[in-house]
Amino acid sequence: IIKNKRVAELGAGLGLCGLTSAALGAKSVTLSDREPYALHCALATAACNGLSDKVQGALLDWTNEEMLGEHRADVIVASDVLYDGETVEAFAYACASILSKGGLLLLSDPANERFQGARDKLKTSLTDACQANDSFHMEIIDLPPPTS
């Protein structure tokens, strides 16, 4: 899924998903976040782990459409990003803008939503974004909770 692909992590924070993608053989990884200090920490971690040749950082605010145009990826990874009802729609449109045709979005978010209705809002927004952009196929899979 990741090997030899251009990967972008949206809302990277400390960059766990993106750095894991780089370690698993991604061709290139762009860690993006709106917080410069988070990117600094993520890029420092990339350097400490010998991943700087594959990993770059980008300040990116999903709500700023002008910032989206220059970024492209085959795979978007994101984790724990549906915490603010005001940005769910912007996240969906960012995905549609950044993903290359046939791209893949891998999103992990708690089933016990912090923002009630976030998943439904994301599904609706992704459907709208896919129809408007025709950039990727959407399939949402709810994973079962872990068993002990």
Do 2 and 24 form a contact (C-beta atoms < 8 A)? yes
pTM beyond 0.75: the answer is yes
Confidence of residue 110 (pLDDT cuts 50, 70, 90): confident
What is residue 25's predicted lDDT score, i.e. its pLDDT? 97
Phi, psi of 93 (to 5 degrees): -70, -30
User: How far is it, in rounded angstroms, from Cα 145 to Cα 148?
Assistant: 10
Q: Could you report the per-residue pLDDT of 34-87, keeping only the tens digit for each?
A: 999 999 999 999 999 999 999 999 999 888 888 877 788 999 999 989 888 888
The lowest-confidence range among 12-26, 43-57, 108-122, 125-139 is 125-139
Do 51 and 57 form a contact (C-beta atoms < 8 A)? no
Which residues fall within 8 angstroms of residue 137, CB to CB, at 6 or more apart?
A: 102, 130
